[in-house]
Structure 1
Amino acid sequence: MNIKSLLLGSAAALAAVSGAQAADAIVAAEPEPMEYVRVCDAFGTGYFYIPGTETCLKISGYVRVQVDGRSDFDIDGVELQDGGYRTNTRAQLRFQAKSDTEFGELHSQITLRANSNSDDDYYLEESFIQLGGLQVGYFYNYFDIGLPGETVLSDGGPIAGADYIGGDTLNNSIRYTFATEAFQAYIQGDAFNSQAGWKTDEAGNDDELGVNGLIGGTFGGVSANLFAAYDFDYEDTVIASTITAAIGPGELGIFGVYSFGATRYWDFSEWTIGAEYAIAVNEKFSIAPGVQYWDNILYDADGDYDGGSAWRVGVTADYKITEGLTAKATINYTDVDLDDLGDGDRWDGFIRLQRSF
């Protein structure tokens, strides 16, 4: 066999192999089209379109770890509250869905919350349906829009351990709101949370209804509102106001209440006034001293206030560790004077770490 024959044989073999490979070639299939999640910026940050729809969804929440502490509280030797500490971890998830309709913005919200020191599983927090200015569901009223610290009590009273009927700000309700950029007003009807969901409670009351309303606005760096509520069962009215203003290096908040009688909205005192001032030390750290005074904190069987007073001072510190992670600590002192029944005082506070998303 000469060189020429060897080359011709090799060429024939290569041609045969190449032909076989060409016959068995695998052709890659075209990739299926993929629908990526689209960002929805029509309703603010954090929303995205639910694939295949024009509805925008936002998922948010937080995980909070907190340690509470308090001293014993007694009135002239009669113990009303044990002292000590407790730990708790809370998880909250909130789902908000929004879309534009011919009737205005359609908004629905589901909020789920659970605490480690509670026997309950996840329970329903503020959840509702809103179309334009009309809102129905389970949500808070605007009795307390919120102050910058943790000293002023807007949904609790100075007598620790007392069996209050007031502070009922979360109910099944219906509300209509009129709002512009600088002004808002609403009227709301409340069905108070009766036993097992029925209208009549264990005591046989069948007027477990209330109505509340608010007028408020923002003028420059000042926000103010006037809130009023009437309880049809207790047949009494309460009015309240919250004012916040940017002053100097921080924000001042003032909260005031006048109650004509004990109701489910408020029964902690005939009147109270409190203030907090959050001082921005730097971009990450702020400190907020606060003070509050209550007058006529006792009431009789008819809901009429008839004596006692209390005051409270404290300070709250907030620190932003990094984006989405904050720490908060507060310590407060409360002094209670029940006239002829005696007096007492207590310390309370907490340390909190919270991751929000």
Structure 2
Amino acid sequence: MIRAKQFLLGSAAALATVTGANAADLPMTKAEPVEYVKVCSEFGTGYFYIPGSDTCLQLGGYVRSDFYYVEPKKRSDNASQWQGRAQVRWDARTATEYGTLRSYIAIDADYGAAWASTSNSSFKVHYAYLQFGGVTAGFIESAFNFYDGKYGSPIYATYGGEQGRKNILSYTGQFGGGLSATLSVEDSIEHNTSIAGFGGLTDKDDAARTGYGGSRMPDFVANVAYDGGKGGWGKAQVMGAVHQVRGVLDDYSSKYGYAVGAALQMNIPFAAGGYFVIEGEYADGASGYTGANKFQKAPDAYAGPGPGFAFETAKSWSIEGEAGFNLTPSLLAIAFGSYRNFDAPSIIADKGNDYTAWVAGGQLVYTVVKGMTVAGEVSYQSIDVTGKSTVDTWAGAMRVRRSF
């Protein structure tokens, strides 16, 4: 018994010695330090450092649901329409010795039957651009814009200049005191409307002679702007653009159209959050810059009936405005309106190509809680096609939106 106990104790001691030696021989792995997300306050609220970098990132977006009721003109029209949208935004900024390097992405996902016969889904880029040292490159609002991208968001009514977002490469110089100037080179294809044919051509001639040829020259756009800053009286801008009209056939020489505009926004000091904004544009051979193509067919030019016949450009002008103020801290009222005129060349025998259009309406936006709003809109639109018809349309809309 004594010898058995001695054997067991000796075995245990030997095993402990061997285990200890093996444990000592094993490599020790040091735990990696945990890198916590840190707040970045350099560019405002909501930014945080991307772990392992000096780049600050802000995430945001919104979810909204829109309902429209548009006065139907025939039985096949969809008077009742719905659309849902989700948008996600990424804003990444890095401080460098040459200024801020910024990249911005916004993606929209839509589903609904708005302006279509059946429900459909779409996934599209809303913004995709970078900025560095005054240079902006990518998909963003045209430098011609002022009113469209920065003020009230209509639910259904089409009343802005409607320049929208384009692929651009621009440079903005800051001169101090709120004064700046921008020179922008922009995708001409996205500024094209169409090239139509003169009345009297045969269908074969129309098919051969109408339409844009391939793009050879970008649009050149410039603006000079003043921003009074936070608490200032407002903002102002003048802008201009040059647009190439290039037909599909070799026997047509190119022609250049242009557009000019001016805009003013003023804060209303006696109304909390109150503002007033107005913008006007004129175009010759560049109908897209006045938004004329959003209401009726509005070609940039008309192609003539013979070899070497020069284009005849179309002229258009528009004016749009908006005023908003808070009825209560939670209730915002907006009134808006626009007027648009399109003139085909005088050589066109059928003046049914000409039209005028105006829109008027209002919107109430109620903030339920921070980040969530409910809005209602009523609008009236009238399109008068010279010598042909006048179409008047009532529309109502509602939007529920949650931003984050």
TM superposition score category, shorter chain reference: 0.7 to 0.9
Cα deviation for residue 58 of structure 1 reads 0.8
Residue 281 of structure 2 corresponds to: 257
Question: Is the Cα–Cα contact under 8 Å of residues 148 and 253 in structure 1 kept in the other structure?
Answer: no
Question: Is the Cα–Cα contact under 8 Å of residues 49 and 57 in structure 2 kept in the other structure?
Answer: yes
Residue 151 of structure 2 corresponds to: 147
Alpha-carbon separation, structure 2, partners of 1:255 and 1:183: 19
Residue 164 of structure 1 corresponds to: none
Alpha-carbon separation, structure 1, partners of 2:177 and 2:400: 34
Q: Quick check: 1:137 aligned with 2:114?
A: no
Number of aligned positions between the proteins: 306
Q: Quick check: 1:185 aligned with 2:181?
A: yes
Residue 372 of structure 2 corresponds to: 325
Q: Go from structure 1 to structure 2 and tell me whether the alpha carbon gap of 1:312 and 1:122 turns closer, same or farther (over 3 Å shift).
A: closer
Cα deviation for residue 54 of structure 1 reads 0.5
Q: Quick check: 1:238 aligned with 2:247?
A: no
1:341 to 385, 388, 393: 388
Alpha-carbon separation, structure 2, partners of 1:54 and 1:243: 39
Q: Go from structure 1 to structure 2 and tell me whether the alpha carbon gap of 1:203 and 1:294 turns closer, same or farther (over 3 Å shift).
A: closer
Q: Go from structure 1 to structure 2 and tell me whether the alpha carbon gap of 1:223 and 1:267 turns closer, same or farther (over 3 Å shift).
A: closer
Q: Go from structure 1 to structure 2 and tell me whether the alpha carbon gap of 1:149 and 1:245 turns closer, same or farther (over 3 Å shift).
A: farther
Alpha-carbon separation, structure 1, partners of 2:159 and 2:291: 13
CA displacement, residues 137-191 of structure 1 (integer Å, 9 cap, x when unaligned): 12211423333363561245xxxxxxxxxx4x32221010113461222111012
Cα deviation for residue 207 of structure 1 reads 3.0
Cα deviation for residue 120 of structure 1 reads 5.1
Q: Match of 2:213, SS?
A: coil
Residue 225 of structure 2 corresponds to: 216
Q: Go from structure 1 to structure 2 and tell me whether the alpha carbon gap of 1:116 and 1:181 turns closer, same or farther (over 3 Å shift).
A: farther
Q: Match of 2:387, SS?
A: helix
Q: Quick check: 1:91 aligned with 2:75?
A: no
Alpha-carbon separation, structure 2, partners of 1:298 and 1:139: 30
Cα deviation for residue 95 of structure 1 reads 0.8
Q: Go from structure 1 to structure 2 and tell me whether the alpha carbon gap of 1:216 and 1:203 turns closer, same or farther (over 3 Å shift).
A: closer
Question: Is the Cα–Cα contact under 8 Å of residues 108 and 125 in structure 2 kept in the other structure?
Answer: yes
CA displacement, residues 309-355 of structure 1 (integer Å, 9 cap, x when unaligned): 22221111111110111112211101222221121200123210111
Question: Is the Cα–Cα contact under 8 Å of residues 188 and 244 in structure 2 kept in the other structure?
Answer: no
Alpha-carbon separation, structure 1, partners of 2:219 and 2:396: 33
Question: More helix per residue: 1 or 2?
Answer: 2
Q: Quick check: 1:353 aligned with 2:400?
A: yes
Tell me which of the two structures has the higher relative contact order, counting C-alpha pairs closer than 8 angstroms and 6 or more residues apart. Answer: 1
Q: Go from structure 1 to structure 2 and tell me whether the alpha carbon gap of 1:300 and 1:63 turns closer, same or farther (over 3 Å shift).
A: farther
Alpha-carbon separation, structure 2, partners of 1:210 and 1:86: 36
Question: Is the Cα–Cα contact under 8 Å of residues 152 and 291 in structure 1 kept in the other structure?
Answer: no
Question: Is the Cα–Cα contact under 8 Å of residues 169 and 186 in structure 2 kept in the other structure?
Answer: yes
Cα deviation for residue 208 of structure 1 reads 5.6
* 1:1-357 alignment runs, 5 A limit: 33-73=33-73, 82-117=77-112, 119=120, 121-142=122-143, 143-145=145-147, 146-148=150-152, 150=154, 153-156=159-162, 167=163, 169-179=164-174, 180=176, 182-193=178-189, 203-207=212-216, 209-219=218-228, 220-233=232-245, 235-247=256-268, 248-249=270-271, 250-266=274-290, 268=292, 270-295=316-341, 297-299=342-344, 307-357=354-404
Q: Which amino acid aligns with 1:171?
A: K
CA displacement, residues 251-305 of structure 1 (integer Å, 9 cap, x when unaligned): 111121112233443351722222221121011101112222223x2435999x9
Question: Is the Cα–Cα contact under 8 Å of residues 147 and 254 in structure 1 kept in the other structure?
Answer: no
5+ residue gaps, structure 1 = 1-28, 74-78, 157-166, 195-201
Q: Go from structure 1 to structure 2 and tell me whether the alpha carbon gap of 1:171 and 1:327 turns closer, same or farther (over 3 Å shift).
A: same
Q: Structure 1 length as normaliser, TM-score?
A: 0.77
Q: Match of 1:281, SS?
A: strand
Question: Is the Cα–Cα contact under 8 Å of residues 243 and 285 in structure 2 kept in the other structure?
Answer: no
Q: Match of 2:152, SS?
A: coil
Q: Match of 2:363, SS?
A: strand
Alpha-carbon separation, structure 2, partners of 1:130 and 1:208: 24
Alpha-carbon separation, structure 2, partners of 1:32 and 1:301: 78
Question: Is the Cα–Cα contact under 8 Å of residues 261 and 267 in structure 1 kept in the other structure?
Answer: no
Alpha-carbon separation, structure 2, partners of 1:175 and 1:141: 9
Q: Match of 1:51, SS?
A: coil
Q: Match of 2:52, SS?
A: coil
Q: Structure 2 length as normaliser, TM-score?
A: 0.68
Alpha-carbon separation, structure 1, partners of 2:84 and 2:40: 32
Alpha-carbon separation, structure 2, partners of 1:301 and 1:210: 26
Question: Is the Cα–Cα contact under 8 Å of residues 149 and 276 in structure 1 kept in the other structure?
Answer: no
Q: Which amino acid aligns with 2:181?
A: A
Question: Is the Cα–Cα contact under 8 Å of residues 70 and 85 in structure 1 kept in the other structure?
Answer: yes
Q: Match of 1:35, SS?
A: coil
Q: Match of 1:232, SS?
A: strand
Cα deviation for residue 49 of structure 1 reads 0.4
